[in-house]
Amino acid sequence: MSLPPGVFNDVVEAIGNTPLIRLNKVTSHLKKSEIWVKLERCSPGGSIKDRIGLQMVLQAEKEGLLKPGGTIIEATSGNTGIGLAMVAAQRGYNCIFTMPDKMAQEKIDLLRAIGAEVHICPTAVEKEDPRSYYEVAARLAKEIENSWYPDQYSNLANPLAHMKSTGPEIWRQTEGELTHFVATMGTGGTISGCGNSLIIQAKKDGKSPPKIVGVDAKGSILKEFFESGTIGTPHTYKVEGFGEDFIPPATNFDVIDEIRMVDDEDCFKMCRRLAKMEGLFCGGSCGGALKIALDLAEEYDYSDKKAKIVVILPDSGNPYLSKLYNDNWLKDNGFDISAWGE
């Protein structure tokens, strides 16, 4: 029996089909250009990573890599872990996650509340260091019987999730009328899958494909690698959820037209502005993506052209209440919020 729209048999069925919302107040100075945001906090686990959590599990089950009663072990900044833990709870798997110590306590608490075991690892070490959250996850997967290590950074089910869902949703919601697609880059799954999907659909429908614009964090190496093929020296930064200190195999740089960079202040300032002006309460990476979208829109306006930009807002602000939405935390970390004009 088919169910009415918006009614689901379980939480997993509710993943995806998130709203696309036009910004009005943050963009009130624009003459022609528009910015529309894909609000991924509306997925049941609170982020875009619900999509890849489900797709990676389905693929692993299909290939016989994840067996009944098995344990999922993954390195995560939080949101992928939450997505995996939600799917695991519904399908009867155990979860162990490793996380860098810069991540918000709220994410750690939420993972444990869903039943996951969480190991905290140092942030300021190389990826290959045995103490890194990548290496600890890989080691645990080898040691624990009947376990599966998704490795979202190289798992092609990651971009596939966006090829199958996020990209087609955006094309349908915009009726194929968009000039730019903007997304932050971590694993590269979102921009690779969405970008590929949008380019293919544009060609199929005889339309001009949107420009695919990635957003990297200052301190990450992705922008430099994209532009010159060289791997620079990463350094730590405060914003969570995007940027990397290595090149993730899940990233398809061929679909990307441009990568721009933002710093911590860009991200935090824009997040707080978005919350107060539009009522959209989102995470730090959302602020970075919106900062670049606004830059693009202003450039088009200045050239007397119209841009219609779709931006992925990957998650909610709830996990960051103790950080970027906390004035004392910002001051303690060297941010002069009195100059932000709030």
Q: Give catalytic residues, as residue numbers.
A: 49
Which string of b and e fits 163-172 if b means at least 16 CB within 10 Å?
bbbbbbbbbe
* Cβ atoms 317, 271 nearer than 8 A: yes
Q: How far is CA 229 from CA 128, 136, 145, 315, 335, in A?
A: 21, 28, 39, 30, 33
∠ CA 280-283-289, nearest 5°, is: 85
Would you state the structure tokens that stand for residue 306, as one six-digit string?
């119209």
Torsion angles phi and psi, residue 177, rounded to 5: -105, 85
Q: How far is CA 44 from CA 4, 7, 83, 312, 335, in A?
A: 18, 13, 9, 16, 33
Closest among 201, 191, 205, 193 to 311, alpha carbons compared: 191
Would you give the DSSP letter of residue 204?
H
For 156, other C-beta atoms within 10 Å of its C-beta total: 17
Would you state the structure tokens that stand for residue 66, as one six-digit string?
């994840």
With H, G, I as helix, E, B as strand and everything else as coil, classify residue 158: helix
DSSP string covering 269-335: HHHHHHHHHH---B-HHHHHHHHHHHHHHHHHHHTT---EEEEEE-BBSGGGTTTTT-HHHHHHTT-
Would you give the DSSP letter of residue 209?
P
Torsion angles phi and psi, residue 261, rounded to 5: -120, 145
CA dist 289 and 330 (Å) reads 20
CA dist 54 and 67 (Å) reads 15
